[in-house]
Amino acid sequence: MKDLLQTHTVSYAQSLRLAYMSFAGRVRVSVVHDEDYDRAMEVVRRFEKSRGSGAVPASWRWQRPGVWAGGVGFVLLMVSGAVAEDLTPPLRYVLHATAVGLLATGIALVLVGLRR
């Protein structure tokens, strides 16, 4: 038997309708007869997932700061809620307003990125 494909998805093996064995999360696709090897390799190449270019989408330029702002705003909101009783009222309002502002800015940047 010759190995045709090693992959972490069982769908390749099932869609090709070839014998397969699973071991530790890997799938080995095999042919029983050596004369079927070339034809099976053609089928595997046809079904093989194309490699992406790995390029970062243009929307990420807007979404990355949005995710950071939303995350920092969320953490700041949790911290301000935990220490709110120990703070003076003006400082408490400034802290809450900053947290809510960062959350809103983060959501807005992520939504703007989706439209790009």
Which tens digits make up the pLDDT trace of 26-66? Answer: 545 677 778 877 887 777 677 655 555 677 888 888 899 99
DSSP code of 55?
P
Which tens digits make up the pLDDT trace of 59-96? Answer: 888 899 999 999 999 999 999 889 988 889 999 999 99
How many CA atoms, within 13 angstroms, populate the side-chain half-sphere of residue 49?
Answer: 11
36 or 113, greater pLDDT: 113
> In one letter, which amino acid is 10?
V
Where is mean pLDDT largest: 16-20, 21-25, 31-35, 42-46? 31-35
Spacing of C-alpha 16 from chain mean position: 27
Cα–Cα distance between 30 and 33 in angstroms, integer? 9
Query: Residue 27: beta bridge partners?
Result: 7, 22
pLDDT band at 21 (very low <50, low <70, confident <90, very high): very low
> In one letter, which amino acid is 23?
F
User: End-to-end distance of the chain based on CA atoms, in angstroms?
Assistant: 50
